[in-house]
Structure 1
Amino acid sequence: MDPERALSPPLTQGVYYRRGLRAAVALPAVILAATFIGIGSVCADYGMPLAWAVLATVLIWAGPAHLILVGGLGSGASWLAIALTVGLSSVRLLPMVVSLLPYLRLQNRHPVVAVVCAHLVAISIWVESLRLLPQIDGEGRVPFFLGLGTGLLASATTATVVGYGLAGIIPHAFAAGLLFLTPIFFLLSLFATARVLSDQLAIGFGFFGLLLGALAGDGLELLYAGLGGGTLAYGLARLKRARDAA
């Protein structure tokens, strides 16, 4: 161990939290803000009050589910149907939450802290957490994660207000294009962080699944790409590990 580090006082939880806030002021926050400018504009176009648009950003904290809510309300769908659809769309975040648990080590934390950490998980913070948390000391990972999540959520909330105010000023096509920035960032991040065979195969099979689904024309493209491609990638990777171990 470095003697200077051994003699230095331990960092407080507040210091780790501020480090997380500083880490949030980076490219993911910019991408996220651009996406939520588009979402804020869509909310205004559908006539959703600004307070509800901001509350939806804070509570739902997921662009696709936010758009499902706005579109459902705009089309006159029932509240129950909208709630079920938003909930089902957010199930995709569960594996992200589970994958972050070994890094956060929430065993000795208050249950409220665990709930807040789970709520803050989204695509952007998941990608950044997998990249940054291994570099943080174990006792500082939870406050660092909370700072990172708070910074990104603040960026998205502010951008929702800005987009709401810009509705009618920015072209509809441009606002719609902003919504694709976060998925594009997520895809590029997957390419950059895919180091194991199963991840690499899942990306490849996902592309082919989307193509097959588009040709089939039955509207199940995401099912083919996600469930089908992911399961096939996992099975092949596991089979290769078994052969290597034999």
Structure 2
Amino acid sequence: MFAPDERRWFFAGARTALTGPAFYVALSLMSTGALARAADLPPEAAMLATALIWAGPGQVLFFGALAAKTAPAAIAFAVSLSSVRLLPMCLSVLPMLRAEKTRRTTLLLAAHFIAVTVWTESLRRLPDMAKERRLPFFFGFALTCVGLTTLTSGLGYWLTAALPAPLAGGLMTLSPFYFLAATARAARDGSDWIAIGAGLALAPLTQAFVGGGFDLLVLAVVGGGGAWLASFYARRVVA
């Protein structure tokens, strides 16, 4: 799949994931095994859901709807709708992965792996890389995160009986906290910090009044767009 130099960057992405990010997301999604058990499904279902759905909120919707015996078409629609929140992340990462000979199918495959952890680390690391190195690094990083998380999803299924409910719920919060810390670490100028502050302030409002999987999309447009406009006019004033 990759040339020798590309394989080197693929394994560099895998090693980067194993320095911490892959373990954070793997621990945070371990509780999906508990959700599969609650829905009377086998551990393989938890592992398959992680590999195919990937994002945690989509898995919560999926197993919750199965437990409630919701119609399959409605489950598919709900999970798809929850993924709308990932659209701004895809739009910010995929252009960095596109090179002269990159196939559209490759970019579509890459889009599947873009969720909170992969997105934050991509924004942090890809801009400083040569364009031909970005795609193999991305896939090495993303596949390591998904592979490790798939294993821990199955492990979580078997640990459900021994894992206290508060601890299982606490594990789900690791990914958002890591996302916030990684975003703050990747901030480059004042507009980034304005966007982070706007996100923290507006997130409860969009969650309460928008919801339905569109809250993050609205938050990105209002908070991120507002931060960009503030930075744009600030640069004009200084100039």
Task: Using structure 1 for the length normalisation, give the TM-score.
Answer: 0.83
Aligned to 1:29: 22
Aligned to 2:225: 234
Contact 2:27 2:171 in 1 (8 A): yes
Cα 1:168–1:135 change in 2 (3 A) is same
Q: Does 2:34 align with 1:45?
A: no
Q: Matched residues in 1 for 2:120 and 2:227: separation?
A: 25
Percent of matched pairs sharing the same residue: 33
- Comparing 222-231 with 202-211, which one deviates more in the overlay? 222-231
The one-letter amino acid of 1:22's match is: R
Query: Of the candidates 8, 29, 34, which is equivalent to residue 15 of structure 1?
Result: 8
Name stretches of at least 5 consecutive residues in structure 1 with no aligned partner. Answer: 1-9
* Equivalent position SS for 1:77: coil
| Aligned positions, number | 233
* Equivalent position SS for 1:61: coil
- Comparing 203-212 with 107-116, which one deviates more in the overlay? 203-212
After superposition, residues 91-130 of structure 1 pair within 5 angstroms as 91-130=84-123
Give the CA RMSD over aligned residues: 2.5
Q: Matched residues in 1 for 2:129 and 2:57: separation?
A: 31
Cα 1:171–1:138 change in 2 (3 A) is same
Contact 1:48 1:70 in 2 (8 A): no
Q: Which has the larger radius of gyration?
A: 1
Contact 1:209 1:224 in 2 (8 A): no
Cα 1:209–1:15 change in 2 (3 A) is closer
Q: Matched residues in 2 for 1:15 and 1:143: separation?
A: 8
Cα 1:76–1:143 change in 2 (3 A) is same
Aligned to 1:173: 166
Aligned to 1:220: 209
Q: Matched residues in 2 for 1:65 and 1:94: separation?
A: 14
C-alpha deviation, 1:226, in angstroms? 6.2
Query: Of the candidates 132, 143, 161, which is equivalent to residue 154 of structure 2?
Result: 161
C-alpha deviation, 1:174, in angstroms? 0.8
Q: Matched residues in 2 for 1:88 and 1:101: separation?
A: 20
Contact 2:98 2:107 in 1 (8 A): no
Cα 1:76–1:21 change in 2 (3 A) is same
Deviations 1:41-95 (A, max 9, x none): 2221221222222111111110110111000111122222211111111111121
After superposition, residues 134-153 of structure 1 pair within 5 angstroms as 134-153=127-146
C-alpha deviation, 1:116, in angstroms? 1.6
Aligned to 1:75: 68
Deviations 1:102-157 (A, max 9, x none): 32124412333222211111111111112222333221211111111111111110
C-alpha deviation, 1:233, in angstroms? 5.3
* Equivalent position SS for 2:102: coil
